[in-house]
Structure 1
Amino acid sequence: MAVDLDFKAVLGRFCTGVTAVTALDGDRPLGFACQSFSALSLDPLAVAIFPARTSTTWPRIREVGRFCVNILADDQQQVCRQLSRSGTDKFADLTWTPSPNGAPLLSGALAWIDCTLAQEVDGGDHTIVVGHVTALGELREAPPLLFYRSAFERLAPRPLSETPATGLRPAVTASK
């Protein structure tokens, strides 16, 4: 038990970004908030998400076979909370457009990554999901939504002179 508490306390010191994983089942949008997300591979382009085994949404997205990872901005805490709830219309009052693979691309997201389901691996109380990237794009410049020690956090503002000038790039479709 103490090791479990130590594990949570120690890993709570690792700051993560917050994403929303979405899909479209017919005309019904599906989605869940996900802080367990990672870039995985440049060749082939792949990302990983780690939904809890208790998720009731992930099995429905699995059936669709494709999904979109929406990278949330710091002003989207309510979007995260809404997509974290069970038993409600998670998309009530959320605006979105279809991504190239048809999944909900959430208004206000920083960026998005369309994926096809490539593989699932047992990860204990979570599932390790590998998604092959089919398209991606940046939508706006804003600070990311961060999660640290069981709470939302923000980056400290930096003077513009210390911020790398990246600029937004257009959406890209991965080559096959």
Structure 2
Amino acid sequence: MSALSESDSARGGTAPETAGAPGDQLAGEDFKRVFRQHPAGVAVITLAAEHGPVGFTATSVISVSATPPMLAFAIASSSSSWQALRQADTVLVHFLDAASAHLSAQFARRGTDRFAGVAAERLPGGEPLLTDAAAWLRARVVDRVRTGESHLVTLHALEAQIDRAERPLVYHDRTYHGIGAHTRL
């Protein structure tokens, strides 16, 4: 059963806090525990900022539409990368495979130079391209919508490159896994 009434659907939806009885809400730890069991692809988002390159790991990247080519990801409002992302016009979304798992760990670290020792080059727009990534998309930021303690960032894909399609990297239950032919059903 949908949490939206007919009048809510006509208005485009309802706020999560009105979807159930007052005070009804899943505990944050229970929510996290459910999603720890849901494998997610791993990406690193990079962008050019006024003070230098910015990058962070994301496991929330989703395809939204093929025509036009749209994707989205979420970023916590408390992320050290959020302020730069608020100003960015374009970003690069690097899709990682098992051979580039080191990039995920590096760009997830706090309080360090995430680009230190990383093979990267600048695209004409200034975006840092991680040359060890399996594939990447360059995209224009379309919208940033606050959702709870995070922001959902929607993007319009402008160009892409696939360097290899070997063993995709997924994050499951706080651990990285490479998916290969042995995992096919």
TM-score by length of 1: 0.82
Q: Which of 74, 96, 99 is equivalent to 1:72?
A: 96
Q: CA deviation at 1:140?
A: 1.5
Q: Distance in 2 between matches of 1:51 and 1:26?
A: 19
On the 8 A contact 1:67/1:101 being kept in 2, the answer is no
Letter in 2 for 1:37: V
Alignment-mate amino acid for residue 50 of structure 1: A
Given candidates 135, 145, 162, the residue that maps to 1:138 is 162
Q: How does 1:87-98 map to 2 (within 5 A)?
A: 87-98=111-122
Aligned mates of 2:153, 2:131 — CA distance in 1:
25
Is the contact made by 2:46 and 2:54 (CA closer than 8 Å) also made in structure 1?
yes
- 1:14 offset after TM fit, Å? 1.1
Checking the alignment, whether the CA contact within 8 Å between 1:71 and 1:110 is kept in structure 2 is yes
Counterpart residue identity of residue 122, structure 1:
R
State percent identity of aligned pairs: 26
Q: Cα offset for 1:57?
A: 0.9
Give TM-score scaled by structure 2 length: 0.78
Alpha-carbon distance, 1:9 to partner = 1.8
**Alpha carbon RMSD of aligned pairs, Å?**
2.2
Greater Rg, structure 1 or structure 2? 2
- Consecutive unaligned residues in structure 2, runs of 5 or more: 1-24
Change (3 A) 1:129 1:62: same
Provide the aligned length of Structure 1 versus Structure 2: 160
Q: Tell me the CA shift for residue 83 of structure 1.
A: 0.9
> 26-35 or 64-73: which moved more?
26-35
Aligned to 2:177: 153
AA matched with 1:111: A
Distance, in Å, in 1 between the alignment partners of 2:151 and 2:39 is: 21
What corresponds to 1:129 in structure 2? Answer: 153
The answer as to 2:27 corresponding to 1:3 is: yes
- From the superposition, tell whether residues 139 and 71 of structure 1 become closer, same or farther in structure 2 (CA, over 3 Å): same
Alignment of 1:29-68 (within 5 A): 29-68=53-92
Higher helix residue share: 2
Cα-to-partner distance string for 1:116-142 (whole Å, 9 max, x where unaligned): 111011111110000111111111232
Larger deviation: 19-28 or 50-59? 19-28
Aligned partners of 1:43, 1:100: CA distance in 2, in Å? 26
State how far apart, in whole Å, the 1-side matches of 2:80 and 2:93 are: 17
Tell me if the contact between 1:100 and 1:135 (Cα under 8 Å) persists in the aligned partners: no
Decide whether the 8 Å contact of 2:167 with 2:180 is kept in 1. Answer: no
